């Protein structure tokens, strides 16, 4: 490592969520970048403040109290660069607070450009309120009326391969242009065009005078077989931050501190997942359960699938969750005998006070049950967009992954780490052998935001063990009756101590291997069980495993998870799972 790193820049990263604002300090320690400390405060982005400054100031002041380092002047200005040991050298910021952006998507073929533009919308904090396509049976005036009624903030247009269809795209542009013309100038939407590049000049001429801003991006589908969302995602990230700067006070100053590089939290997270997946054999999955949205980022060989689901967030949108699932699907995760109306009432109360903390065991059980169902829906939705060539161990199952990173207050603030892990396993239902980490300090978006200012910093912080290793999980896929032995497992630690276990279908087992230790896991699959190496196969030399808070967990509960029809029996099983993991 070059000696110049010792004199390298310190960095302060701010992440503004709906409920919490975090201030994260990174600095050089013994020649390497390290996570130093984090300060947190309630966010002030929403009413009645609508000014992020107060929450940011409190978070930085809390960070100052922890570190003893002065970062702000007496009039609350950031000291940058470092002066006489005070302040920081660089600054980065990310943002997820605020209502989802009302979005209209327009494309041609339902399974080509229209599907691509929907994926683009799902990569940020957007809510699709209308879809226009070639197969839309409505008359043009009906489509225009719909846009006028909905008053979208953003319109995304795709369609036509480069050098391909033009007339069908032109019809879409005519409808959208007329609708924008009829809207008052002060509420006209931003338009992003990412279709046939041959029409770019025509789109600019027709729509630029009729929109609050027009962006032209390279085609999402330059050919029928090729999809490239990254250029449009960068533009969408820029639009998101510009929109929030108009809606919230204090962001202009933060953006200036960040050198104009304020980014959406999901975009920053996706940047890190894409980076981590470049050297991954299977894939990397990052999930975050927040008040504003549930975010899922999956990377396979540097190819990113990003899904942001504001409708599943654990804040103001909670009552609307029942449009996407049922109360029974939420109740199945709760180990207590609670009436459905009690759960429904809790959703409304939590929506009113998203920053509230569960006060009773019943509240905690409901909140964790809701989180499981919301994350499960988000992961299943994102999985439909995973690359077609990704290997799966069965129809409808997630592909094997190398690493899962979980974040969000419901996970990081759970009373026990066993509860954190069980929420992730229940909701994601991974297959094969995977290591599960907890982003207990919310570092992933901070690292993603910092990457543009200092590419070396995220690499070294990740290598330093900044994330909490929860467990190495082995989840076999097998067709066998409950109670049938499916795995013979032998764990040999670095001292030569050996633990053996015969695992039966339906069981959840844990083998202790504490942090700082290592070992090898020898698995003999029975009944053609597949742990990611093929039915009935496992490495003869064993699987290297590192110590974790919960050691090695064998999840033989089946994929997908199935519950007994008897409610009493179901609740007892969930309690047993919690007890097994120390919950």
**Per-residue pLDDT reduced to its tens digit, 257-316:** 999 999 999 999 999 999 999 988 999 999 999 999 999 999 999 999 999 999 999 999
Question: Is the predicted pLDDT of residue 88 greater than 90, yes or no?
Answer: yes
More confident residue, 502 or 30: 502
Q: Residue 229: name the closest of 128, 120, 387, 111 by CA.
A: 120
CA–CA distance, 535 with 102 (Å, rounded to integer): 46
**CATH-assigned architecture of domain 3-95:** 2-Layer Sandwich (3.30)
Which of 234-248, 350-364, 536-550 ranks highest by mean pLDDT?
536-550
Question: Is the predicted pLDDT of residue 217 greater than 70, yes or no?
Answer: yes
573 with 563: CB under 8 angstroms? yes
CA–CA distance, 159 with 133 (Å, rounded to integer): 9
What is the CATH number that goes with domain 101-246?
3.40.50.280
276 with 283: CB under 8 angstroms? no
Q: What is the structure's pLDDT at 5?
A: 42
Give the percent of the chain with pLDDT over 90.
87
> What average pLDDT does this structure show over 126-155?
94
* Encoded tokens for 280: 């991954």
- How many other β-carbons are positioned within 10 Å of the β-carbon of residue 156? 29
Q: For residue 560, say if its preceding peptide bond is cis, omega within 30 degrees of 0.
A: yes
Q: What is the structure's pLDDT at 4?
A: 39
8: pLDDT confidence band, cut at 50, 70 and 90? Answer: low
CA–CA distance, 415 with 413 (Å, rounded to integer): 6
CA 290, 403, 418: angle at the middle one, nearest 5?
60
DSSP-H helix ranges across 91-219: 113-122, 140-150, 167-182, 200-207
- Residue 396, classed as helix, strand or coil, is coil
Range list of β-strands (E), 159-239: 190-193, 213-216
Range(s) of the chain covered by CATH 3.40.50.280 = 101-246
507 with 489: CB under 8 angstroms? no
Q: What is the structure's pLDDT at 475?
A: 98
pLDDT digits (tens, 9 = 90+) for 110-133: 888 999 999 999 999 999 999 999
46 with 95: CB under 8 angstroms? no
Q: Residue 377: name the closest of 286, 296, 290 by CA.
A: 296
Question: Is the predicted pLDDT of residue 413 greater than 60, yes or no?
Answer: yes
Give the percent of the chain with pLDDT over 70.
99
* Encoded tokens for 375: 């994350």
DSSP 8: P
Dihedral sign computed on CA atoms, order 224, 267, 347, 337: positive
Whole-prediction pTM: 0.93
> What average pLDDT does this structure show over 330-335?
96
Range(s) of the chain covered by CATH 3.30.420.40 = 3-95
220 with 227: CB under 8 angstroms? yes
CA contacts within 13 A on the Cβ side of 358: 19
Q: What is the structure's pLDDT at 463?
A: 84
3-state helix, strand, coil in the chain (%, to 5): 35, 25, 40
250: pLDDT confidence band, cut at 50, 70 and 90? Answer: very high
CA–CA distance, 58 with 38 (Å, rounded to integer): 12
Dihedral sign computed on CA atoms, order 378, 230, 395, 486: negative
Burial category of 430 from C-beta neighbours within 10 Å (exposed 0-12, middle 13-18, buried 19 and up): buried
Mean pLDDT of the chain: 93
Q: What is the structure's pLDDT at 163?
A: 82
The distance of Cα 486 from the centroid of its chain, to the nearest Å, equals 33
* Encoded tokens for 368: 């964790």
* Encoded tokens for 581: 């993991």
pLDDT digits (tens, 9 = 90+) for 436-464: 999 999 999 999 999 888 888 998 998 88
3: pLDDT confidence band, cut at 50, 70 and 90? Answer: very low
Question: Is the predicted pLDDT of residue 150 greater than 50, yes or no?
Answer: yes
CA–CA distance, 52 with 17 (Å, rounded to integer): 10
CA 197, 200, 206: angle at the middle one, nearest 5?
150
Question: Is the predicted pLDDT of residue 484 greater than 90, yes or no?
Answer: yes
443 with 480: CB under 8 angstroms? no
CA–CA distance, 369 with 372 (Å, rounded to integer): 5
């Amino acid at each position: 490592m070059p000696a110049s790193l010792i004199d390298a820049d310190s960095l302060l990263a701010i992440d503004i969520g709906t409920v919490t604002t975090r201030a994260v300090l990174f600095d050089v320690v013994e020649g390497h970048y390290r996570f130093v400390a984090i300060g947190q405060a309630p966010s002030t982005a929403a009413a009645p403040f609508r000014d992020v400054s107060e929450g940011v100031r409190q978070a930085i002041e809390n960070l100052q109290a922890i570190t003893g380092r002065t970062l702000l002047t007496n009039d609350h200005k950031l000291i940058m660069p470092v002066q006489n040991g005070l302040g920081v050298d660089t600054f980065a910021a990310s943002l997820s607070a605020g209502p989802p952006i009302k979005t209209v998507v327009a494309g041609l073929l339902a399974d080509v450009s229209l599907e691509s533009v929907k994926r683009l919308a799902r990569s940020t904090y957007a809510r699709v309120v209308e879809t226009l396509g070639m197969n839309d049976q409505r008359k043009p005036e009906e489509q225009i009326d719909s846009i006028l009624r909905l008053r979208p903030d953003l319109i995304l247009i795709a369609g036509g391969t480069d050098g391909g269809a033009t007339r069908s795209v032109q019809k879409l542009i005519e409808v959208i242009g007329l609708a924008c013309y009829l809207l008052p100038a002060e509420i006209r939407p931003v338009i992003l065009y990412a279709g046939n590049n041959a029409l770019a000049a025509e789109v600019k001429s027709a729509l630029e005078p009729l929109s609050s801003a027009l962006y032209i991006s390279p085609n999402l589908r330059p050919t029928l077989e090729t999809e490239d969302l990254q250029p449009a995602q960068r533009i969408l990230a820029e639009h998101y931050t510009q929109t929030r700067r108009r809606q919230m006070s204090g962001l202009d100053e933060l953006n200036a501190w960040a050198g104009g590089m304020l980014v959406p939290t999901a975009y920053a997270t996706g940047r890190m997942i894409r980076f981590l997946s470049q050297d991954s054999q299977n894939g990397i999955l990052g999930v975050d359960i927040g008040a504003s949205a549930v975010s899922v980022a999956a990377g396979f060989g540097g190819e990113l699938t990003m899904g942001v689901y504001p409708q599943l967030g654990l804040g103001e949108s909670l009552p609307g969750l029942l449009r996407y699932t049922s109360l029974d699907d939420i109740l199945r995760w709760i180990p207590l005998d609670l009436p459905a109306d009690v759960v429904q009432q809790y959703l409304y109360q939590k929506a009113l006070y998203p920053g509230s903390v569960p006060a009773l065991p019943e509240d905690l059980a409901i909140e964790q049950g809701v989180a499981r169902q919301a994350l499960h829906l988000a992961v299943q939705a994102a999985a439909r967009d995973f690359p077609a060539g990704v290997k799966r161990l069965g129809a409808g199952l997630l592909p094997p992954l190398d690493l899962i990173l979980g974040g969000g207050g419901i996970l990081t603030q759970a009373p026990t780490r066993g509860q954190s892990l069980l929420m992730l396993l229940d909701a994601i239902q991974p297959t094969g052998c995977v290591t599960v980490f907890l982003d207990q300090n919310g570092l992933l978006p901070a690292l993603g935001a910092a990457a543009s200012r200092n590419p070396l910093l995220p690499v070294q912080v990740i290598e330093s063990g900044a994330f909490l290793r929860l467990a190495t999980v082995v989840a076999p896929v097998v067709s066998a009756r409950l109670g049938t032995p499916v795995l013979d497992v032998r764990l040999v630690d670095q001292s030569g101590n050996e633990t053996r276990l015969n695992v039966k279908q339906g069981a959840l087992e844990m083998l202790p291997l504490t942090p700082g230790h290592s070992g090898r896991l020898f698995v003999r699959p029975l009944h053609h069980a597949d742990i990611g190496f093929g039915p009935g196969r496992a490495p003869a030399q064993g699987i290297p495993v590192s110590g974790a808070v919960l050691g090695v967990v064998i999840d033989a509960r089946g994929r997908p998870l199935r519950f007994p029809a008897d409610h009493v029996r179901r609740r007892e099983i969930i309690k047993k799972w919690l007890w097994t993991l120390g919950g």
